Amino acid sequence: MDRAPISLPGRVVIFDYGDVVSARRSAADRDAIAALAGVRGEDEEKFWNSYYAHRDALDQGTGARAYWRAIAGDIGADWDEARVHELWAADFRSWATVNPGTIEVISDLAAGGTRLALLSNAGPDFGSFLRRGALGDYFEEVFVSGELGLIKPDPAIYIHALAGLGIQAADAVFTDNRADNVLGAEALGFTGHVFTTPAALRAFLTSLES
């Protein structure tokens, strides 16, 4: 694919993190988490149902330990404190692999002088990782739901991001893999794009240059 700087003067491109900047989690990642949880077969399905059922609470700041204890309560597990930490670490690691194609798009936006920000539904434990890791150099602001007590698509989280960036909704371009999150932003006047692939995102962003 031909690469070139993407310049959107006067606009800020705001990225979701999970399954946009981060790569989809691998089967090996999921297997590692399930193995630590000690689940298989029907118990594994019950585990994953609970994992996702409590995710909004985690993303609103409930805390990692409380999150894993809630799952344990649902499935009747008796994990000791060390196992809870191991589950947290394996889960965190599973979200840390990036999508190389998205990173190329971000890099090309930065090369074009386009302002960039990140707006993620994630636990507060991701704040330092996203700000202090290698990705943090690209984004002038990182908004993490678990630190704010707000989650997408609540309008308040988008309004908070606009205020933090000092822009109007018409100046914001937002991409997320979830259509409901994009619709929530568009309802406020953002330009939205439902992320599917880096190539489709690149084509969308370059169409805004004209």
Q: Which SS3 state, helix, strand or coil, does residue 117 take? A: strand
What is the Cα–Cα distance from 130 to 108, expressed in whole angstroms? 19
Structure-block tokens of residue 152: 């997408």
Structure-block tokens of residue 126: 């991701």
**Residues in contact with 95: Cβ distance below 8 Å, sequence separation at least 6, in sequence order:** 17, 18, 22, 25, 122, 126
The owner of tokens 């994953």 is 48
Whether the model pTM is above 0.75: yes
CB 103 within 8 Å of CB 21? yes
Mean predicted confidence (pLDDT) in 8-13: 98
Angle between helices 42-53 and 27-37 (to 10 degrees): 100
Task: Please report which helix (H) or strand (E) contains residue 111, including its range.
Answer: helix 100-111
Query: What's the pLDDT score for residue 210?
Result: 72
Percentage of residues in the chain having pLDDT higher than 70:
100
Q: With 90 as the cut, is the pLDDT of residue 2 above it?
A: no
CB 182 within 8 Å of CB 176? yes
> Which tens digit of pLDDT belongs to each residue from 186-201?
999 999 999 999 999 9
* pLDDT band of 1, cuts 50, 70, 90: low
